[in-house]
Amino acid sequence: MVTKQQSVPDIFQENCLSRQVLQLIADQWTPLVIAALNDGTMRFGQLLKRIGGISRKMLTQTLRAMERNGLVRRVVYPVVPPVVEYTLTPLGQTLVEPMKALRDWAYGHLQEVAQARTAYDQRDHTPLQDAVASLVQQREKSL
């Protein structure tokens, strides 16, 4: 029996399938659509209003991609004017938790990130200064 102890395949390899899948969900809008649809089925227009700053085009594109990848189900009611509903599939629901973890991380570390950014922007970043800073840091560690 061959036990391939490889819980993670080589995500560092180009053309790795899992990397491709990862890239399907690690974009600007997918996390927000997941969050929105986690509250229940929504129509196109509702999503458009709910997710501030998204354009018709991007919402359509994102939803289409998600549908294609099996994350959402799209139901078209043949009435006029048309009604189209979007719902998370069971597969899509498995993404809710990981995505929530990411959003929570973002929310939980707002200040730290903001501070880091301010600090970074105040420092010099000439090659020389970078090196000196590293030296100082080195010295401090050895004390």
Contacted by 131, from DNA, a second copy, none: CB < 5 to 8 Å by type = a second copy
- The contact pattern for a second copy, residues 18-37, with x = CB under 8 A and - = no contact, is xx-xxxxxxxx--xx--xx-
Nearer to a second copy (CB atom), residue 56 or residue 115? 115
| Euclidean distance between CA atoms 54 and 106, whole angstroms | 19
Contacted by 55, from DNA, a second copy, none: CB < 5 to 8 Å by type = DNA
Find out whether 32 and 59 touch, Cβ atoms under 8 Å.
no
Does 60 bind a second copy (CB under 8 A)? Our answer is no
Find out whether 86 and 28 touch, Cβ atoms under 8 Å.
no
**Would you tell me how many other CB atoms lie within 10 Å of the CB of residue 93?**
14
Residue with tokens 């970043």: 125
Does 56 bind a second copy (CB under 8 A)? Our answer is no
Q: What is the DSSP string of 31-72?
A: HHHHHHHHT--EEHHHHHHHSTT--HHHHHHHHHHHHHTTSE
Residues that bind a second copy (CB under 8 A): 7-9, 11-19, 21-28, 31-32, 35-36, 50-53, 67-71, 74-78, 91, 94-95, 97-98, 101-107, 109-110, 112-117, 119-121, 127, 130-135, 137-138
